Structure 1
Amino acid sequence: MSKRRIKKIAIIGSGIMGSGIACHFANIGVDVLLLDIVPRELNDKEKAKGLTLEDKVVRNRIVNDALAASLKSKPSPIYSQSFASRITTGNLEDDIAKVADVDWIMEVVVERLDIKQQVFEKLEKHRKPGTLITSNTSGIPIKFMSEGRSEDFQKHFCGTHFFNPARYLKLFEIIPGPKTDQAVLDFLNEYGEKFLGKTSVIAKDTPAFIGNRIGIFSIQSLFHTVKDLDLTIEEVDKLSGPVIGRPKSATFRTVDVVGLDTLVHVANGIRENCPKDERLELFELPDFINKMMENKWLGSKTGQGFYKKVKKEDGSSEILSLDLNTLEYRASKRAKFATLELTKTVDKVVDRFKILVKGKDKAGEFYRKSFAALFAYVSNRIPEITDDLYKIDDAMKAGFGWEHGPFQIWDAIGVEKGIEIMKAEGLEPNAWVNDMLASGSTSFYTVKEGATYAYDIPKKSQEKIPGQDAFIILDNIRKTNEVFKNSGVVIEDLGDGILNCEFQSKMNTIGGDVLAGLNKAIDLAEKDFAGLVVGNQAANFSVGANIGMIFMMAAEQEYDELNMAIKYFQDTMMRMRYSSIPTISAPHGMALGGGCELSLHADKVVAAAETYMGLVEFGVGVIPGGGGSKEMALRASDIFHKGDVQLNVLQEYFLTIGMAKVSTSAYEAFDLGLLQKGKDVVVVNKDRQIAVAKQHAKLMADAGYTQPVKRNDVLVLGKQALGMFMVGTDSMEDSNYISEHDMKIANKLAYVMAGGDLSEPTLVTEQYLLDIEREAFLSLCTERKTLERIQHMLTKGKPLRN
């Protein structure tokens, strides 16, 4: 069979979802044809211009306006604005014939079966045989959509359901129709994982599929629990947020963002189409929801939902909360529970569940009630919505941002304990759970030889979850493959001669223990291994140096020790670059300050597409002191061409640090000079990142890696550049654009990046630049205003402008 490739896709429907999906295909380099309907009448602007309904600009107005709105939205649907050029727009009358040239047609029009069927009828006239054709429906049965279509159409047709926003939410549900060819499902499953960076889950054609069926049940169940336990919305959001590994927006804030009408639409769909669902009564909407729907309090899109932002008399804004008993808005109240206090010192979310369900207060009761309902419900959905329990967990993690799926939470509490909680609530698990315990399996999941196994219900045994060979899961290998460990890092053997150094500090900050661990990793790799990856699978790669430690030393005026600490940081970064083995950095999420500096010094960066990278030290009143300032001067020097362009190049790099710019994706990090074209690579699926980083390390080692020679040819511009920078910072301070202290920091950075006040452009060594960088960093640490900035960041978590 010939290998299917997707070079071009047509997306039909340009609403929020359609435009978002179009942007994500553009993100991964696919050509996109985005089509929508032709307007029926002119708008005022068009009338004023004397346009007619025949003008191209009018005919494409709907699609162009929708795409423009999407590209402006925050967070951005596109990795880099330049990628938008991969999207061509058009309309369903003039441009529909162009679908003959695409490899995949995806329908994303309104959720009405009759309209979808009309669209498919039109598309079939132009679609060439063998082209994939899918629908991004979230609720309409797939089997109805392809009725009456040709054999070839039905064979290549299925549901491909993205979650909104398409770039950020990882769930990609694939729903077969009655006649979908298995090869089509296999292709989409792999394409979703490998190219789109998603968690692909093949679901059955049941209402709301997997993610929304369980997710909406979970929210509806909470709606009823709120009333039963007389909880406020703040209390529920406190209990159902980060403490249990759910997004910060928890329950009610999430509903406000998604839109209450969207939730109600799915809940009603389940209620009407799942008559055999044993918890059907939970999909009935409580009175307060009906009232909110009547009042059009739908959330962010109508300006009020469960929360409402209001302006106070002094011009500041305040967020009010809805009282569910009176349906009136009131000032927000802080939520506090004794049970939650007990989990404050428990860093790993998975270790908190056992404590939470034992709680003696209302919080404990809340967790027992909601987990009992959830566990019973998911056990009864197999085999209705899927045959595999791990698919339910995958769907909840990827579609709703849960850190752990229902069966993983149940495992964390203990399967038998979970059943006990259920029985206390008058619920029972499905019979297969008791069969599992009887068969000798005491948990839903087990880990063997670095792979995850899940209980297979028909086989009554633990079976290896397919598709893991492309991944390395650090949680699975940490214990068996550990080579070294201290309080800051774990060093694991990834196999094939490659080591991994995984940070384990809070938010993966880089302090003395992490630096010691990094040095140890390089020692071990140079002695007995072939290469080193620095990577982890926490929420963020690293938020930078441990500023608490710097603050303590600076406040105590222990400048010699501070100097030694900074030199240790710099020396460790230089070892990353000048060791005898290839070093690979694998950043993802936030890679800030020292986390960014580490990546700047690796031989190669294998970045996740969602990497937010930047040198943000200005925010705490210092300059990058771990080699970052030196490195930006060096990178500028490497691209200098003759003449005055040199100053412009240097200025670009200076502004990246001076404005504390952070990339909104790995692709944007190339534009900022933090990643290097032709050297560093981007991986769209974060789950594959460590495995890909390992491959690159092995490739470099196998190709005969030689230790680089230290640089002594960095061209610095001296007084010429320093003068230009100082004139710039001076005028910015004069016009109140920056504070006096900002100017002081900027001038210190200018001194480093210009290489000091040398009388003419000069070639210097890297060490020369590191020494003046360290000196500048130390001198800023003696400033009261810098200490105020560091303290503010430590206590408030945001930068202070002073």
Structure 2
Amino acid sequence: MKRAIKKIAILGSGVMGSRIACHFANIGVQVLLLDIVPKEPSEEEKKKGLTISDKAVRNRIVETALTNTLKSKPASLYDAGFISRITTGNFDDDLPKIKDYDWVMEVVVERLDIKQSLFEKVEKFRKPGTLITSNTSGIPMHLMCEGRSEDFQANFAGTHFFNPPRYLRLLEIIPAPKTNPEIIDFLMDFGDRILGKETVLCKDTPAFIANRIGVYAIISGMHAVEKMGLSVSEVDKLTGTLIGRAKSATFRTMDVVGLDTTVNVANNLYKALSHDESRDKFKLPKIVEVLNENKWWGDKTGQGYFKMIRHEDGTKELKELDLKTFEYKDVEKPKFKALEASKEIDDLKKRIKFLVNFEDRAGEFYRATFYDLFQYCANRIPEISDELYRIDQAVCAGFGWELGPFETWDVLGLQETVEKMKAAGEIAAPWVHEMLDAGHTAFYKVENGQKKYYDIHSKSYLPVPGAEEFILLDTLKAANKKLWGNAGATIYDMGDEVIGLEFHTKMNSLGAEVIEGINTAISMAEKSYKGLVIGNEGGNFSAGANLAMLFMFAGDQEYDEINLMIAQFQNTMMKVRYSSIPVVVAPHNMALGGGCEMSLHADAVQAHAELYMGLVEVGVGLIPAGGGTKEMTLRFSNRLIAGDVELNQLQDYFMNIATAKVSTSAHEARALGYLQTKDAITLNRKRVLADAKEKVLALSDAGYIQPIQQTNIKVLGKTSLALFEAGITGMQYGAYISDHDAKIARKLAWVMSGGDLSSPTEVTEQYLLDLEREAFLSLTGEKKTLERIHSILFKGKPLRN
């Protein structure tokens, strides 16, 4: 079935509807967003003389909802200009327009009667064959399409986005009883490739997969917390990034999402799951029930498990709830022997195994909650999914876990964990014992470079569908594709004569090991391969250069060492640009400082849509000196067209660096000049490395020719220096910037102007590199710069001195 989505009508403009509308606008789809007509004008509208017949009144609900979404943070749009792709209206006046739309999505309140009533109206106007879906989080599909036409039922399914839709990767696809299988195939593919989601096929069971497992893990975990007498801070310390889960952990997440949301899902599951052997775990423990009765639902009500106290002098103080007295107290600093002992274990899988087997309260909590979750997930097959990998995919994408339940079970060792579970009173499902009896000792394995999962029906290992389209570094590692490595970087054979460089330092900072890795990878590629991909699967692409080493050299006044270090970094970036093979950089999330500079020098960038890129060196009292200042000056020169107002363009680039401007998406990175027209954007994070590899092959197959360094970069000398000086002085006098900020800005202006030249002049790249290195070096001798670096390294926050 060939189906193109150019226009979508979204029915319901609440928090989810408006945000889904924004994400479709992000991918270039024209959106019609509709909601109900108010019963009467508001008092403010009456004062203006408006009546219920006025469009402003009739569209008030949808307009207000969309406006609130646009104001909310984090932003729902990749670029503010994408709002032009959304048209608003109301059900009474505009529902007939859906006949011209390719997809109709219902996102109204979670009440079956309201949804059925709306679908009855939709059938009057919907064109046969049009895709129609519901974003319900739990109402059964078969109930929603009861009484609808055959065509409606054949083209109907559930498309359950997780909030916020731009950022959370999960999209659950739920067929109805009569859904055409081709519709499901289309939704699975479209959600993956176009919307950038982890599309997971679900059965039409209560809460589908992610919420069924995720909410069980939360509420069941609350029972363990109550039994063990753990505090709010202790639990959040144990259940966050330490074990590869969201930074907001357990209680902070419930405060942000709204405790009432979690409670409603749990209560509905308890009512619906009379057959579930662990049904009672969905009953609310006292530490949840009391808050729900008090309507302490978190941020939306001003208090939950945490409460921000605002004092009369304007200061704020965060308090946490005492789970015994239900009064607020000072936030604790949890201490566990297990956490102290695991500090040096950077590898998540090794750390989880260490923590679960540690004999203290932390280990006890992990064993209680992990073992309980394992038995529950195993018992849900085949009820909610025939395949175990779908459960891992849904929970990871929906709740932000790095490892799913079955993946975690593998990490702990399947056989030994089953035995420990039995001793703890948690009995694994019969199929798990049958699997072990047959000699299968893991849920997943890699064979011939292919990730496979254990299939309980065939009692054999089958390939994870779709995984062949991704390049996953863990799979390459398991397939012995490693070609070279040191403590901070690894080179892999990605196949088809392309190699990949991964760096894996703390925050993926760019130190000596990574620089060695880049140079080694380029040399290897130039000898034997078509090209190189630089990318990784860490939380962030790179937070920038290794400040600790720089701080040590600067503190000891080892300026020759600093000069050598910067020259080596510059030379490496220039090698990225001027090698004899194509180099494609694949950044995601944070690509700051040196991570941004590496991207600036690539032959092409294959960026993830969520890209927070910028040259942020001024925050530590420096200027970009890995070619970043040079490159932005070069880009200004290359974009000049006869008749342009030169100073305006240069000033834009100068301000981006001087204010440490960071993009909020890959689209904004393009608008800021960090990405160019030749660079591409991938929405699905799992596809970034594969797309980058295809970019390398395309450049190679097109007959890649090694570029030549530029010698004709136009700089404006005194003309731009005068402009920059006027602006800096004005900001200084107005107390918008400190004296040290002004000093940094003047150094930056000097480099981007090409120095004190009497007239516009053409210079070489090396000329600008020497200027930026000289400016950088002089700033490392400034006391206030060292104070800024110290604050970032030892306090974790920027200092404006």
TM bin (shorter chain):
over 0.9
Q: Does 1:43 align with 2:72?
A: no
Letter in 2 for 1:214: I
Give 1:291 deviation, angstroms. Answer: 2.3
- 1:342 and 1:355 in contact (8 A); partners too: no
Q: Distance in 2 between matches of 1:287 and 1:602?
A: 56
- 1:36 and 1:62 in contact (8 A); partners too: yes
Q: Distance in 2 between matches of 1:574 and 1:18?
A: 47
Residue matched to 1:535: 535
Letter in 2 for 1:556: D
Residue matched to 2:515: 515
SS at match of 2:370: helix
SS at match of 1:346: coil
Residue matched to 1:225: 224
Q: Distance in 1 between matches of 2:760 and 2:37?
A: 61
Task: Decide which moves more: 470-479 or 245-254.
Answer: 470-479
Residue matched to 1:623: 623
Q: Distance in 2 between matches of 1:381 and 1:731?
A: 66
TM-score, structure 1 length as denominator?
0.99
Note the 1:104-143 alignment, pairs <5 A: 104-143=103-142
Deviations 1:465-514 (A, max 9, x none): 11112101111113521221122211111111211111121111111111
Q: Distance in 1 between matches of 2:416 and 2:484?
A: 35
Residue matched to 1:725: 724
Q: Distance in 1 between matches of 2:498 and 2:24?
A: 33
SS at match of 2:178: coil
Give 1:155 deviation, angstroms. Answer: 0.6
Letter in 2 for 1:590: M
Note the 1:6-85 alignment, pairs <5 A: 6-85=5-84
Residue matched to 1:163: 162
Residue identity over aligned pairs, in percent, reads 58
Residue matched to 1:339: 338
Give 1:227 deviation, angstroms. Answer: 1.3
Deviations 1:259-314 (A, max 9, x none): 11111110011000010111111111123323222221110000100100001354
Residue matched to 1:493: 493
Residue matched to 2:252: 253
- 1:375 and 1:418 in contact (8 A); partners too: no
Residue matched to 1:610: 610
Q: What's the RMSD between the two structures over aligned residues?
A: 1.0
Deviations 1:585-637 (A, max 9, x none): 10001000000000000010100001110000000000001000011111111
Letter in 1 for 2:659: M
Q: Distance in 2 between matches of 1:355 and 1:233?
A: 23
Residue matched to 1:409: 408
Any runs of at least 4 consecutive aligned residues in structure 1 with deviations exceeding 2 A, and if so which?
287-291, 312-315, 640-644
Give 1:126 deviation, angstroms. Answer: 0.6
SS at match of 1:33: strand
Note the 1:137-156 alignment, pairs <5 A: 137-156=136-155
- 1:534 and 1:586 in contact (8 A); partners too: yes
- 2:581 and 2:700 in contact (8 A); partners too: yes
- 1:104 and 1:132 in contact (8 A); partners too: yes
Give 1:78 deviation, angstroms. Answer: 0.8
Note the 1:216-615 alignment, pairs <5 A: 216-478=215-477, 480-615=480-615
Letter in 2 for 1:637: S
Residue matched to 1:760: 759
Deviations 1:504-546 (A, max 9, x none): 2111111111111101111111111111111111111111110
Letter in 2 for 1:502: E
Q: Distance in 2 between matches of 1:220 and 1:245?
A: 19
Q: Distance in 2 between matches of 1:438 and 1:299?
A: 47
- 1:16 and 1:66 in contact (8 A); partners too: yes
Letter in 2 for 1:456: D
Residue matched to 1:698: 697
Residue matched to 1:659: 659
Q: Distance in 1 between matches of 2:782 and 2:15?
A: 49
Letter in 1 for 2:260: D
SS at match of 1:487: coil
- 1:510 and 1:594 in contact (8 A); partners too: yes
Letter in 2 for 1:570: Q
Q: Distance in 2 between matches of 1:478 and 1:423?
A: 33
Task: Decide which moves more: 336-345 or 713-722.
Answer: 336-345
Letter in 2 for 1:216: V
Letter in 2 for 1:487: A
How many residues of Structure 1 are paired with residues of Structure 2 in the alignment? Answer: 800
Residue matched to 2:202: 203
- 1:449 and 1:477 in contact (8 A); partners too: no
SS at match of 2:585: strand
- 1:38 and 1:92 in contact (8 A); partners too: yes
Residue matched to 2:741: 742
Give 1:376 deviation, angstroms. Answer: 0.7
Give 1:331 deviation, angstroms. Answer: 1.0
Q: Distance in 1 between matches of 2:376 and 2:701?
A: 51
Letter in 2 for 1:58: V
Q: Distance in 2 between matches of 1:289 and 1:407?
A: 27
Residue matched to 1:212: 211
Structure 1: gaps of 5 or more residues: none
Q: Distance in 1 between matches of 2:336 and 2:306?
A: 21
Deviations 1:84-123 (A, max 9, x none): 1111111001110111111111100000000000000000
SS at match of 1:408: helix
Task: Decide which moves more: 400-409 or 508-517.
Answer: 508-517
Residue matched to 1:645: 645
- 1:215 and 1:400 in contact (8 A); partners too: yes
Q: Distance in 1 between matches of 2:718 and 2:17?
A: 54
Give 1:32 deviation, angstroms. Answer: 0.7
Give 1:644 deviation, angstroms. Answer: 6.9
Q: Distance in 2 between matches of 1:474 and 1:333?
A: 38
SS at match of 2:74: coil
Give 1:685 deviation, angstroms. Answer: 0.5
Residue matched to 1:173: 172
Give 1:643 deviation, angstroms. Answer: 5.5
Q: Distance in 2 between matches of 1:286 and 1:470?
A: 44
SS at match of 1:352: helix
Give 1:12 deviation, angstroms. Answer: 0.4
- 2:226 and 2:285 in contact (8 A); partners too: no
Q: Distance in 2 between matches of 1:457 and 1:394?
A: 17
Give 1:424 deviation, angstroms. Answer: 2.7
Structure 2: gaps of 5 or more residues: none
SS at match of 1:478: helix
- 2:573 and 2:626 in contact (8 A); partners too: yes
Q: Does 1:787 align with 2:750?
A: no
Deviations 1:664-721 (A, max 9, x none): 10000011110012x1110000100111111111111111111111100000000010
Q: Distance in 2 between matches of 1:487 and 1:329?
A: 45
Give 1:385 deviation, angstroms. Answer: 0.4
